[in-house]
Amino acid sequence: MQIDHVVALNNAWVTGAQQISQENRMALANDPLNLLAVDGPTNGSKGAGDAATWLPANTGFRCEYVARQISVKAVYALWVAPAERDAMARILSSCPDQPAYASGYDAAPVIAAPAPDPAPAPAPVEEAPAVEDPEPAPQDVYYENCTAAREAGAAPVRTGDPGYASHLDRDGDGVGCE
């Protein structure tokens, strides 16, 4: 039995924890909302994965798991990468009544988002000379299989990437040809 951080500490660090106090990082690491008892192989397979790169094999638990990730990220003012957001939305679309969770941990901070800096005055706009665009990149990319995606240097291919298709993503976690 091992304890999984629902929002992996490495993922938390790269999504904003480096900007919060040491005290708040300790709270994040020890918040029961962010802790889950799991078996060793499951914890090892997740590593620092987020919802775009790893989801529980138990598909019936994915809604709760993603809701906990979102709740932890909200409590600790961590951001969500676009691929992660897409995966979370995909999972939660199958369970629209899934509630968010409150931390309930006495040491959990209440972090107010910093006020944005005032916008600078807009610079005068000068019209740039017309330049012909190079040949546009192909919009419709299709890989027949993972071998083709790997040969094209596109593997792993994630939800939202050109060429991503469900036939490349056998476990349905949003990452194909992993």
pLDDT-derived band at 133, boundaries 50, 70, 90 = very low
Q: How much is the average pLDDT of 80-85?
A: 92
pLDDT at 68: 94
Give which of 36, 33, 39 is closest to 76, Cα–Cα: 33
Top pLDDT among 16 and 150 is at 16
Q: Which two tokens stand for residue 72?
A: 């932890």
pLDDT at 46: 87
**pTM score of the predicted model:** 0.60
Cβ density class 58-90: b for 16+ within 10 Å, e for less: eeeebbbbbbbbbbbbebbbbebeebbbbbbeb
pLDDT-derived band at 135, boundaries 50, 70, 90 = very low
